[in-house]
Amino acid sequence: MAFNLQNFLCPIERQEWKKFLPMAFMMFFIIFNLTILRTTKEALVLSQPGSGVEVLSFIKTYCVIPISLGYMVGYVVLSNYYSQRRIFYFSVAPFLIFFLVYAFVLHPNLGEWHISPVRLAEIQHDYPSMKWFAVLLGNWGFTLFFIMSELWSAVVLSLMFWQFANDITTSPQAKRFYGLFGMIGNFGLVFGGLTIMQCSHCPVGGDNVVAWDAGVQHLMMIAGLCVGAILLLYFWMTTVLGFKRAAPNKASVEGIIKKPKPTFREQILYVTKSKHLQFLFLIVVSFFLALNFSEVLFKDRVLQSYQAGHEYSAFMGRLQITIGIVSIILTFLGGSMLRYFSWKGGALITPILMFISTTLFLGLVLYMDFVSMSNGADAAVMIVWIGFTQMITMRATKYSFFDPTREMIYIPLDRDLRTKGKACVDLLGGRLGKGGGAWIQSIIFMFTGLGFKELTPALYVMICGLIIVWLIAIVRLSKIHTPT
């Protein structure tokens, strides 16, 4: 293929801008919200008395997974009766309501509505095996906020946005659009990180708690405005511009499967017969399991150094800014790679870089004492910053390579596999990946009392095993994936 500098720098054709720009702005607002929600939910939960990184595993396992599964079932059922347009509004509008209610009603009163720290400490002392459930229930308002923040990623980004994008985008357009969507979304990471740092700033001599509470309220008002902008952009594209689902491909790669009757059970069976979705499910679960194991180890180290809510939030804000900047550069290069090279080549980048960065980070955790004695360095600080680098690598490659290559798989598939199949893979697979890792950790914490330091060797072995499964699934999927 001949190299064209103009196509390399700006591959969007003139008539495609009215489709590309609104979608790009939607991606910006979604990632912007995702950035502030991801950091704020953890800062709120982890900064409470008696809390710890371990409680994240319990919230994901016993709260997020059941609610995500419930939404998936509801989505599949509603898709039989309502258009994708109505389902989009049904799914996104509740977030607008929640963010505003949380900002003006819930957060200002949670200090009175939560269990007191003294009573919570007594419960944890009397029932040590249930101490993380005590934190989860005692701080129910923060738990609810954590759940809604997790659903934002699964519902709005993974399902609603990419379902809409896949419906109105052809495979040739996807190779040019999707990498740029990721790059523009990464600007949302940068601006989201800057917003977090600004709202986490506490004036010298001021009350840190009051300043942080005000910052959370401001973040939720901003998040509500972003949801409103997303709804307006979607309305503009579907009602004013009239974008609808692209015509189905009669020679669909899944056309050999008999079209099912519109019953829930038969639709699920239909989806599970797709080889494309089987391999994609393995890829998604492997990625999120490996990411979860690495992230909790990193966050445990960060929390040891930044224990106050506003300090933790400010540090993670800097992380999001750095991820965004690196991702913008990487996505620009990655988008070009996806246009000029094979799907397989782009899909292999994420697991390979994850293996290298995870080995460096966990190797330092395992040999922390040896490193400290060898060069007199503060190994705890080194671990945090090596983990910082690892998170940048994993997140940047996710936005730049993993997400675009994953979405390209859906485009040649028929309508049922695009909608219900995507719900199963992204919601169920994503939740099983995140929640599965959390469930494993929660069981170990309850019955063994071990901490993250003791679990590090076992987690590293599991991450390596997951990456092997991930690589095999990519190779197998590349053999049957046929872009249209």
For residues 346-359, average pLDDT: 89
Please determine, for residue 332, whether its predicted confidence score (pLDDT) is greater than 80.
no
- What is the structure's pLDDT at 30? 95
Query: Among the listed ranges 175-189, 202-216, 363-377, which one has the minimum average pLDDT value?
Result: 363-377
Query: Among the listed ranges 24-33, 89-98, 309-318, 447-456, which one has the minimum average pLDDT value?
Result: 447-456
Kindly report, residue by residue over 238-259, the tens digit of the pLDDT: 887 777 655 444 444 444 444 4
Cα 242 from chain centroid (whole Å):
30
Please determine, for residue 465, whether its predicted confidence score (pLDDT) is greater than 70.
yes
- What is the structure's pLDDT at 369? 56
Residue 83: Cβ within 10 Å count: 13
- What is the structure's pLDDT at 254? 46
Domains present along the chain, CATH in parentheses: 19-247+257-478 (1.20.1250.20)
99 or 262: which carries more pLDDT confidence? Answer: 99
| Distance from C-alpha of 162 to C-alpha of 246, rounded to nearest angstrom | 14
